Amino acid sequence: MRVIIIEDEDLAAWGLLSKLPRVDPSIEVVATLDSVKAAIGWLQANPMPDLAFFDVQLADGLSFEIFEQVKVTCPVIFTTAYDAYALKAFKVNSVDYLLKPVSQEDLAQAFSKLRTLRGAPLVDADLIRNMMETIRPNRFKNRFMVKIGDTLSSIDVRDVEYFFGENKVVWLRHRNGRKYVIDYTLEQLEDLLNPELFFRINRQYITPLDAIKNATAYSNSRLKVILNAPLNNEDILISREKVDAFKEWMGK
């Protein structure tokens, strides 16, 4: 069975790659793709695989956009961290959907379902187009997958103290004080996080409101932000260009 994985989180892709051979040793993963653009290019240039895993949210858009450019004639298993999506529609119009982090048991059940089907169910492209308009307002990420040793774990955004960049690495700081590397840039996080809940304070930090202890006036019309759980004693400053937007966000 020739399989492709369309997934922009390295940890999620790694999880599938490690679990698939245990489900069926004959599975050959012929491509791992991390964007809508890359997936469209690959599908247009290569024979259709026997099965495709589609992450719902990719860095450059929703994976449903792929169906607008390519006729996908293989069965699809959606993977998602967004349980707010219209998951029943996925169930009807694909082989299955799997919530992240994908467990070995859920993966095995999806393949069992695939083997028992008479004729592969194909995604209804017209329905997908209609679903996109309903889904877009709810596209914000609810959970993040992190790797702890050889274990994958899921963290709810409500448990995030803040995100910060350090030495070209982006970290998630948990409310329990631990920090985890994540496979996103701060720019990507700005698109994935609900802007009513999170604010990009500066080039280094994205925080939720309840992570902020207070903000005080600073030189040159800037603001100095004090976090409830600061990393160190450095000043966290908001530029004067962002001050008005920050005040509006805090007052919502």
CATH of domain 157-250: 2.40.50.40
CB < 8 Å & 24+ apart, contacts of 95-102: 95/51, 95/120, 95/121, 100/12, 100/143, 100/145, 100/154, 101/12, 101/15, 101/145, 101/152, 101/153, 101/154, 102/12, 102/15, 102/16, 102/19
The pLDDT value given to residue 89: 46
CB 172 within 8 A of CB 186: no
The rounded distance, in Å, linking the Cα atoms of 95 and 172 is 33
Q: For 185-233, what is each residue's pLDDT tens digit?
A: 888 888 888 888 999 999 899 999 999 999 899 888 889 999 998 888 7
What percent of the chain stands above pLDDT 90? 32
Helix 10-23 to helix 104-116 angle (10° resolution) is 60
Q: For 103-139, what is each residue's pLDDT tens digit?
A: 888 888 888 877 776 555 556 656 655 655 555 545 6
Q: For 86-104, what is each residue's pLDDT tens digit?
A: 454 455 446 666 777 788 8
Domain boundaries, the chain: 2-138, 157-250
Give, in order, the Cα–Cα distances in Å from 141 to each of 84, 118, 183, 192, 197. 10, 35, 13, 5, 11
**CATH C-level class of 2-138:** alpha beta
